[in-house]
Chains A and B, each alone.
Chain A
Amino acid sequence: MFKFIFKRILEAIPTMLILITVSFFLMRFAPGNPFSSERTLPPQVMENINAKYGLDKPVFVQYTTYLGNVLQGDLGPSFKYKDFTVNELVADALPVSAKIGVVAFVFSLIFGVSVGTLAALRQNSWLDYAVMSTAMLGIVMPSFVLAPVLIYIFSIGLGWFPAGGWMDGSWHYMVLPVLAMAMMYVATFARITRGSMIEVLNSNFIRTARAKGLSYRYIVLKHALKPAMLPVVSYMGPAFVGIITGSVVIETIFGLPGIGKLFVNAAFNRDYSLVMGVTILIGFLFILFNAIVDILLAYVDPKIRY
């Protein structure tokens, strides 16, 4: 297993390097620059600003300097948020996105798998139909539609939860964003679990277990659940990444100070160093979570392990 992990890390290095290089140059080629404004700045003022941020040097020199700094863990000063370094901004924003993301992910996983299993066990009952039609609704309703609906009902109408803000992560500020973010994944997890569970319950080894006279409860928990989880685990990787990137929409609607919000603002502001910093972070997370899913799959599925 350690060899497997070590190999994944080695593979990650060239991937990250390509990511940094491509994004660095793409960013420079994008029209506009971090310091353009409505009123054209006098050339002298512009020169002073460019000199301060090293933009007066050739692009390749900027690139090598940047790469050198990144290797030392320094993502540089933000071009837009002039009182902060990119390291500070990312360090403040990541816990916000992570907290919302993890809570939404765990919620959708537990809730989705539970209702999916229930629906499978009561196949073609009213419960099954109710769960599956709600799931369908959850899948087709994007979060940018769901979020304003939730705000309209629970914030403006009932006044139960705030319509936005973070307040250091107090729970009642998290309820609506987590719900809005998790809904689609709850639905997808439920559908996947149901399908997989029905298939497993109809398979030969379950019939054998039944023939042995084992209790239904024991069969479901001990024999059926684990193989039924295979497609669910495969979906966990994309789901987690989806939740993290999907948070751009949620963070904007709910005004959460997370990575998604930071990324969108950075791109609009042409905040070169911040865009790069967040890109590196997201790229790293992508590689990390894909590796984790591979390891989990190896654990769940003996066919992969052996």
Chain B
Amino acid sequence: MHFKRSLLSTALLTTALMGASFVAQAAVVPEGVILAAKQELVRGNGTEVASLDPHKTEGVPESHVIRDLLEGLVNQDANGKTIPGMAESWETTDNKTFIFHLRKDAKWSNGDPVTAHDFVYSFQRAVDPSTASPYSWYYEMTTMVNASEIIAGKKDKSTLGVKALDDFTFEVKLQNALPYFVMMMGHTTVKPVHKATVEKFGDKWTKPENFVGNGAFVVSKWVVNERIELTPNKHYWDNKNTVLTKVTFLPIENQVAEMNRFLSGELHMTNELPNEHFRRLKKKYPESVAIKGNLCTYYYSFNTKKPPFDDVRVRKAVSYAIDRNIIANAILGQGQKPAYFLTPEIVANFSPELPAYGKLSQKERNAQAKQLLEEAGYNQANPLKFTLLYNTSENHKKLAVAIGSMWKKNLGVEVVLENQEWKTYLDTKKQGDFEAARAGWCGDYNEASTFTSLMEGKNTTGGIHYQSAAYDKLIKDAIETTDEAKRQQLYYAQEALLAEDMPLAPIYQYVKARLLSPAVGGYAANNAEDKLYSKDMYIIAQ
């Protein structure tokens, strides 16, 4: 990657010097690629960002921008592999104590060196109750020493298990061995912030006039609800290989509006692609439709504390009767896959055996479902009735209608569809005031625990009401084991237990579909977490 970047910048320089177009010759840059004179990328970014402070955000749009502004200990390459970021290398002997060796040439955008002290300050700030970070629980998940106690206000933030051994050596101590800890350090919430700037400007440190970061770009303009503009950070350690001269993020929530702006040439890449236009776009602009696997699962969760779903037979019957192939292939048809696990198959090293019902044909599943329902006391005279809750969206509605008719046709179930606006829906779910509800989750890191931990008793309180001592023990064992193979088996056991208890019905595995201009080079087409670094991208002359 670095080799390619330097070739590109040479290409740029040569282009400038010769004042003529330049054909790159290296094997990594495709034959005949000519860089455009204007290297300004415009990206659709969904909703307006809640903040550019990594310790105050929780959403995907925020992460897209912050990834360009701040660099954590590690980054990801185009295939989602963890690669060095601020840390050049790292070591551990027991997966409990991690030592990160920081690069010595890294600087903040004001010229200050990036040191281990910056990471100590930032990690402590993230768990500090007065920061009130909505993602502070992520630090708890790493089992970092004293993280839970600090968040609970029982210990001082200075007791967090982090230490600067010297200016460029950063040590983290965990309670439990966690072999995927380094991978978790690629997340937004573990990015560093510049202490002096944060202390001087408080909540206003992210404003363009105050901003100091250590990423490849800095904020140069921010108009709420319209755009955020970034320009290269001249002090970035790898700035010589940044090709783009400007990156613009546009918050366009409406997918059709975003598509229109792409089609009229105002955007290089969209954040989403409207489902109902997919076939037309694919036919008319095949070169612009980009699809890749995505680390997310779509599912229906059951309220196991309330009838009728307090009966596992009912949960199973309703889950079995969903024809996942029709949903994934016929209704969605963008490359989504049927799901039989909470964890999507794209997760690294995750390939468990399908649960028994997953191996059956749909006809056999329907027969089993019918039998289960009859055993539970439901039949034609006494049909199963329940309400399916989903948050207002055309896509969710389409699936709910399709699945509702599958239930009706195969099981005679009478389902009422109820849609609620997002925040109301979240509240209803939290109050446990539902029977079955749509849900979805995208992984925070490429590992099964980011999914399976969702069903841990303490994380479902008020949520989907699944409480299983056996399941919680499997989660605990997986965190505590030091044996990689055994951990994998424990994840499989967790999924097997979920299939047995069926607190949720996995439906499909997401894909990330977007409109992408053929002029964009360096797009990470195989990064399942959609971690796109603008510093890796460039604009090709058309």
List A residues at the B interface (Cβ < 8 Å). Answer: 30-33, 35-42, 44-45, 48-49, 51-53, 77, 80-84, 89, 92-93, 148, 151-152, 155-156, 159, 162-166, 252-258, 261-262, 265, 268-270
Kindly state whether residue B77 has any CB partner on chain A within 8 Å. no
**With contacts A31-B423, A32-B423, A270-B423 known, is A163 near B134, CB below 8 A?**
no
Additional 13 contacts, C-beta under 8 A, given A38-B441, A44-B152: A32-B423, A38-B439, A40-B461, A48-B130, A52-B130, A82-B51, A83-B53, A83-B207, A152-B260, A164-B252, A166-B223, A257-B225, A268-B423
CB-based contact B223/A42 at 8 Å: no
Count how many chain B residues have C-beta atoms less than 8 Å from C-beta atoms of the other chain: 59
Can you name 9 A-B residue pairings with CB atoms under 8 Å?
A: A31-B427, A32-B427, A42-B458, A93-B225, A159-B265, A164-B252, A253-B257, A255-B261, A268-B422
Chain A residues whose CB sits within 8 angstroms of the CB of B53 once the complex forms: 82-83
Kindly state whether residue B421 has any CB partner on chain A within 8 Å. yes
Chain A residues whose CB sits within 8 angstroms of the CB of B426 once the complex forms: 32, 36-38
**With contacts A36-B426, A42-B140, A82-B203 known, is A265 near B226, CB below 8 A?**
no
**With contacts A32-B423, A45-B151 known, is A163 near B225, CB below 8 A?**
no
CB-based contact A262/B224 at 8 Å: yes
CB-based contact A51/B261 at 8 Å: no
Contacting A35 at CB < 8 Å: which of B134, B223, B260, B421? B134
- In order of increasing CB-CB distance, the 3 nearest A-B pairs are A32-B423, A257-B226, A155-B264
Kindly state whether residue B48 has any CB partner on chain A within 8 Å. yes
**With contacts A162-B266, A164-B261 known, is A33 near B423, CB below 8 A?**
yes
For residue B475, give the distance in angstroms from its CB to the closest CB of chain A.
15
Kindly state whether residue B360 has any CB partner on chain A within 8 Å. no
CB-based contact B266/A81 at 8 Å: no
Give B52's nearest chain A residue, CB to CB. A83
Interface of B is mostly: loop
List B residues at the A interface (Cβ < 8 Å). Answer: 47-48, 50-53, 56, 58, 129-130, 132-134, 136-137, 140, 151-153, 203-204, 206-207, 223-227, 250-254, 256-257, 260-261, 263-266, 421-424, 426-428, 430, 439-441, 454, 458-463
Give A35's nearest chain B residue, CB to CB. B134
Contacting A159 at CB < 8 Å: which of B132, B264, B424? B264
Chain A residues whose CB sits within 8 angstroms of the CB of B427 once the complex forms: 31-33, 36
In Å, the complex CA distance between A48 and B137 comes to: 12
Chain B residues whose CB sits within 8 angstroms of the CB of A254 once the complex forms: 257
Chain A residues whose CB sits within 8 angstroms of the CB of B130 once the complex forms: 48, 52
In Å, the complex CA distance between A253 and B252 comes to: 9
Give A154's nearest chain B residue, CB to CB. B264
Chain B residues whose CB sits within 8 angstroms of the CB of A51 once the complex forms: 129, 132
Contacting B224 at CB < 8 Å: which of A33, A162, A257? A257
In Å, the complex CA distance between A258 and B226 comes to: 9
In Å, the complex CA distance between A92 and B207 comes to: 14
For residue B209, give the distance in angstroms from its CB to the closest CB of chain A.
12
Give B460's nearest chain A residue, CB to CB. A40
For residue A170, give the distance in angstroms from its CB to the closest CB of chain B.
12
Contacting A83 at CB < 8 Å: which of B134, B206, B251, B441? B206
Interface of A is mostly: loop
Using a Cβ cutoff of 8 Å, how many contacts connect chains A and B?
Answer: 151
CB-based contact B50/A255 at 8 Å: no
**With contacts A37-B426, A40-B430, A81-B51 known, is A92 near B151, CB below 8 A?**
no
Contacting A84 at CB < 8 Å: which of B137, B224, B254, B428? B224
CB-based contact B151/A83 at 8 Å: no
For residue B205, give the distance in angstroms from its CB to the closest CB of chain A.
8
Contacting B459 at CB < 8 Å: which of A39, A257, A265? A39
In Å, the complex CA distance between A40 and B58 comes to: 12
CB-based contact A44/B151 at 8 Å: yes
**With contacts A83-B203, A159-B265 known, is A45 near B224, CB below 8 A?**
no
For residue B79, give the distance in angstroms from its CB to the closest CB of chain A.
27
Contacting B266 at CB < 8 Å: which of A30, A164, A262, A268? A164
CB-based contact B203/A165 at 8 Å: no
**With contacts A33-B423, A40-B460 known, is A162 near B257, CB below 8 A?**
no
CB-based contact A45/B137 at 8 Å: yes
CB-based contact B266/A165 at 8 Å: yes
CB-based contact A156/B260 at 8 Å: yes
Chain B residues whose CB sits within 8 angstroms of the CB of A262 once the complex forms: 224-225
In Å, the complex CA distance between A154 and B129 comes to: 52
Give B421's nearest chain A residue, CB to CB. A268
CB-based contact B134/A45 at 8 Å: yes
In Å, the complex CA distance between A39 and B450 comes to: 11
